[in-house]
């Protein structure tokens, strides 16, 4: 009975994988033929039903860009970059889409050491960092035994140095995995979907008008506790309330 159940699960998973691959091929074919509407429909279905994929989001961004829906293009490039932050093609196309938006935003300055650290963290996925943390922890334990029970001074010294290095790798790998996890799950960034939106001082149409932003603009969500209104924050620290329907979370 159990074996039959396992086979059923495996067959269902295989069928889903084959179906997803078939849909992906169909979407790619539609895109190549210039049928961007059909490609968008299939890519959107894949993203909704088969889990997140940087490749699908990237292709979806391309299809929207070709359809001149810049806001949706930016949104999907941002989602693709979130999953694969080291991909230069995604970054290039995202900047290309941003160049088509009304609001021109200067890139956020980052200290070069922070950029270097982020580039290292983005080299591996959460699972890869987790595996590295486990492996380095095991190595640390083994080399500690070498340090404690080694018969010669050189053996003890080697064991201690490797154990110390493995401890550093273990800590760094765990922190990197945690950073990637929060980066992927918090998702406090969003993209403006409306041609233009006026931010208000309060979550009400009667609030004072503070500033105007346009479609394709990336903003940070600072308060989403209201159902119909969301407080956003811009790069310069300015905050305001806009209708929740006017943005889409990355």
The residues spanned by each domain of the chain are 2-98, 112-186, 189-249
Q: What is the pLDDT of residues 85-103, one digit of tens each?
A: 889 999 999 999 999 999 8
149-196 residue pLDDT tens: 988 999 999 999 999 999 999 999 999 999 989 888 888 999 999 999
- DSSP annotation string for 7-46: HHHHHHHHHHHHHHHHHHHHHHHHHHTT-HHHHHHHHHHH
> Of 93, 87, 88, whose CA–CA distance to 75 is shortest?
93
Kindly give, in sequence order, each residue whose CB lies less than 8 Å from that of residue 4, ignoring residues fewer than 6 positions away: none
- pLDDT, one tens digit per residue, over 64-84 is 999 999 999 999 999 999 999
- For domain 189-249, the CATH superfamily is SH3 Domains (2.30.30.40)
At residue 68's C-alpha, the angle toward residues 63 and 72, to 5°, is 65
The domain defined by 2-98 carries CATH number 3.40.50.300: no
Q: Are the beta carbons of 176 and 119 closer than 8 angstroms?
A: no
Structure confidence at residue 244 as a pLDDT band (50, 70, 90) = very high
């Amino acid at each position: 009975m159990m074996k039959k159940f396992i086979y059923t699960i495996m067959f269902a998973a295989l069928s889903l994988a084959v179906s997803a691959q078939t849909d992906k091929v169909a979407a790619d074919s539609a895109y190549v033929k210039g049928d961007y509407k059909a490609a968008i429909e299939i890519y959107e279905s894949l993203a909704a039903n088969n889990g997140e994929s940087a490749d699908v989001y990237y292709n979806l961004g391309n299809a929207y860009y070709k359809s001149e829906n810049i806001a949706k293009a930016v949104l999907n490039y941002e989602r693709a970059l979130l999953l694969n932050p080291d991909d230069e093609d995604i970054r290039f196309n995202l900047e290309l889409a941003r160049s088509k938006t009304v609001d021109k935003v200067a890139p956020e300055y980052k200290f070069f050491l922070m950029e270097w650290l982020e580039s290292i963290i983005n080299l591996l996925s959460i699972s890869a960092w987790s595996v590295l943390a486990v492996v380095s922890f095991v190595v640390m334990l083994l080399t500690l035994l070498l340090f404690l029970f080694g018969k010669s001074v050189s053996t003890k010294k080697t064991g201690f140095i490797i154990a110390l290095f493995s401890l550093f790798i273990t800590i760094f790998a765990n922190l990197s995995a945690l950073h990637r996890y929060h980066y992927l799950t918090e998702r406090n960034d969003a993209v403006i979907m409306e041609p233009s939106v006026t931010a208000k001082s309060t979550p009400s149409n009667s609030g004072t008008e503070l500033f105007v932003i346009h479609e394709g603009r990336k903003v940070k969500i600072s308060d989403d506790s209201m159902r119909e209104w969301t407080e956003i924050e811009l790069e310069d620290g300015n905050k305001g309330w806009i209708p929740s329907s006017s943005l889409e979370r990355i």
